[in-house]
Structure 1
């Protein structure tokens, strides 16, 4: 297994990681930040920006502002095809900047789509990093972006704004995984596995913790059974019938209980990494006729946005070096292998449809390539 750096400061020192954390918080508050690069930009999420944020961009920008969208979302807004492999599509914005309500509608396809006619323009450098900030903040990846004036920090309007290197935003997911540490461990007897233990992991961002559900002593096995399970509030906790997440979680624990050993890595990556709110938005689009994959893309996200480096770091900390992976998803096998996890066997983990999730499971098989049905 590839060993991740145990000292994130070697690649991203404390002041710089703090800048990324602050940038994520500012994005969620709708406060612009400056993307430090060869051609610096002032950026703010379209979902959260208010009138004051737009005023700051008007005041501090050194050129026209644009709305950055993923190609899939831009195609829907423009109502014509765009370059699908482009990192971002830039839509021209009038100056003074367009109203916040229109920006929110352009970002969010679940809102009523009363939109002006947009024209495209060349996206600025560092567009990928700008959209990455929106994703790190678990917002819709739609950003208002403009070149920033030289000397912006010395102006009264820019004195309190944060600057964050574009490269640090792009490197952050890997650095986050490399900083993961064990913070708590306790026995939690479960109905299907009386000797289960919970081990909590936290990364340097001090965000939501990831959990390992340990049955027996999998670290003593040559290749224990392991399930990499992304949290699902609706399925795991509420028992939603829209997906098969709840049965998959309980079924994994029950199987490990029978075998006497195993580990479920419960990753805080709701909705394949898009977050709970965006997953609920995707559900709204599914109710309007889109499948799981197209709903995610309509929101500007990829089909799967999970950071499997987190799983690799957890397994290394647990002393597990080879695994039998409990999954139906060949792409998960490839993704985990790319992170250095040695998988000696893929173990099927299939559950029958329940009359509600039939089309969901069909989409998994036909469009995600899951080996089910």
Structure 2
């Protein structure tokens, strides 16, 4: 990858980190500059920097699905793909922000649907600022709630305030460029209970961000030339590690390793750092709170401002290519994974069903996967 793309990836990663720690950033492009702060994390000092950089009134920027909940009416939105192999509802809505709500605590409540309602009963929509979609995309990359305080700015003012600047084009290119820069950084033999000869290979993108893992499972009776079993498994702290009954992730993880160890072709379990279908652990816990209030898993994600599924399966495809795995038998019930891998150049020779019975707690979750996500659970 050319050096300028590596620098661009690192700039996006740094901008996402700035938002997470409560500091505004500048998004720049041909249409001008936008100073952006995450409503969830912005500090009093951050609001001061935003005010000093602003060349117009600050507005509240929300993802359309979150805005629909706030406005209590449907909001027109476009449906697009953030990257090959993903399905992400894209768009933004700008609302006038009463001065009294330019306060860190109030903004956190505005961003979080599990908190109290603070906006007026009839919030006023306003014109969409330049780079609004980029700002929403950057918040999602930071795994923050897609709710931001933004204002028009100038690049020179941002430099004077020592605010980090990032190109809108680089932010929008990130979901494709980051997976393409993945490299193997470490590997070791890690004997597992169900796969004593397993190895784990770690991958990292050029931005220096989170690592993804591949668990290589050798067969007990290897036969060269066979197509390996492959599972794309998104990390689930609550299910994989704690044995949560709310999902079927833990049984799917352990069941996949058992099947690979017993299969003549062995297998690869691609373990992606894309918790909660790509929204992160903190937001997944918020979604659980909304589910306890009556929403299903899909509507809970949308109420937070996220799409139904924010994952990027290009990451998995690049990892498989690096392992010289180009043909797979895919352990999945999810048609999107089949389509995502195929779109990224991996040949899926066969789908292998990977279903587990409900446990009395996750029955509704499994029903939602079948009815609303189209999972092949029969």
TM range (shorter): over 0.9
In structure 2, the residue matched to 1:90 is: 94
1:95: Cα distance to partner?
4.6
Maintained 8 Å contact 1:219/1:319: no
| Matching of residue 26 in structure 1 with residue 18 in structure 2 | yes
In structure 2, the residue matched to 1:354 is: 359
Output one character per residue of 1:178-225: Cα deviation in whole Å (capped at 9) or x when no partner.
Answer: 111111221122221222111111112222221111112799544211
In structure 1, the residue matched to 2:86 is: none
| Matching of residue 78 in structure 1 with residue 71 in structure 2 | yes
SS at match of 2:316: helix
Distance 1:13 1:133 in 2: 17
Indicate how the Cα distance of structure 1 residues 235 and 113 shifts in structure 2: closer, same or farther if over 3 A, else same.
Answer: same
SS at match of 2:113: coil
Alignment of 1:319-338 (within 5 A): 319-338=324-343
Output one character per residue of 1:109-136: Cα deviation in whole Å (capped at 9) or x when no partner.
Answer: 0112233342111211211110111111
SS at match of 1:57: helix
2:36 to 22, 32, 43: 43
Give TM-score, length-normalised by structure 1: 0.93
Aligned residues: 362
Indicate how the Cα distance of structure 1 residues 8 and 27 shifts in structure 2: closer, same or farther if over 3 A, else same.
Answer: farther
Alignment of 1:140-151 (within 5 A): 140-149=145-154, 151=156
SS at match of 2:256: helix
1:237 to 230, 237, 241: 241
Output one character per residue of 1:332-351: Cα deviation in whole Å (capped at 9) or x when no partner.
Answer: 21122222221111111000
Q: CA RMSD in A?
A: 1.8
In structure 1, the residue matched to 2:3 is: 9
Distance 2:159 2:202 in 1: 44
Maintained 8 Å contact 2:24/2:50: yes
| Matching of residue 367 in structure 1 with residue 372 in structure 2 | yes
| Matching of residue 52 in structure 1 with residue 45 in structure 2 | yes
Moved over 4 A (4+): 217-220
| Matching of residue 286 in structure 1 with residue 291 in structure 2 | yes
The runs of 5 or more residues in structure 1 that have no matched partner are 1-6
Indicate how the Cα distance of structure 1 residues 240 and 13 shifts in structure 2: closer, same or farther if over 3 A, else same.
Answer: closer
Distance 1:154 1:206 in 2: 25
Indicate how the Cα distance of structure 1 residues 321 and 65 shifts in structure 2: closer, same or farther if over 3 A, else same.
Answer: same
Distance 1:41 1:219 in 2: 58
Maintained 8 Å contact 1:8/1:178: no
Output one character per residue of 1:147-181: Cα deviation in whole Å (capped at 9) or x when no partner.
Answer: 004631464xx2x1111001111111211111111
